[in-house]
Amino acid sequence: MASEIVEVDMTLPAIKVVSELCKGCGLCIEHCPKNVIEFSGKFNQMGYNYARYTGEGCTGCTICFYACPEPGAIIVYKKAKGE
């Protein structure tokens, strides 16, 4: 079976915070070695000030992914092998 290819319009590596799953705990912000995650200053439907990627500088290290206690709240996009 062919693997699914999703085209995204961003420089990789990068992350995306799924705003509705974020609880605004700030652990990803605290642990990112590149300081490229910040509070958005906006609130999701649960009332949390969710985090967001600043848009550049991510190394794809996945530390934020493992630091986040909310399953699925952070997606890490890496370059495909050979890219």
Distance CA 9, CA 69 (A): 27
Minimum CB distance to ligand SF4, residue 57 (Å): 7
Residue 63 CB neighbours (<10 A): 15
Closest of 20, 16, 27, 6 to residue 55, by C-alpha? 16
Q: Is 19 in the site for ligand SF4 (CB under 6 A)?
A: no
Q: How many residues make contact with ligand SF4 (CB under 6 A)?
A: 28
Distance CA 6, CA 48 (A): 29
Residue 2 or 14 with smaller CB distance to ligand SF4: 14
Question: Are 39 and 26 a contacting pair, CB within 8 Å?
Answer: yes
Q: Is 70 in the site for ligand SF4 (CB under 6 A)?
A: yes
28-67 positions binding ligand SF4, by CB under 6 A:
28, 32, 34, 36-37, 50-51, 58-64, 67
Contact residues for ligand SF4 (CB under 6 A)? 15, 17, 22-28, 32, 34, 36-37, 50-51, 58-64, 67-68, 70, 73-74, 76
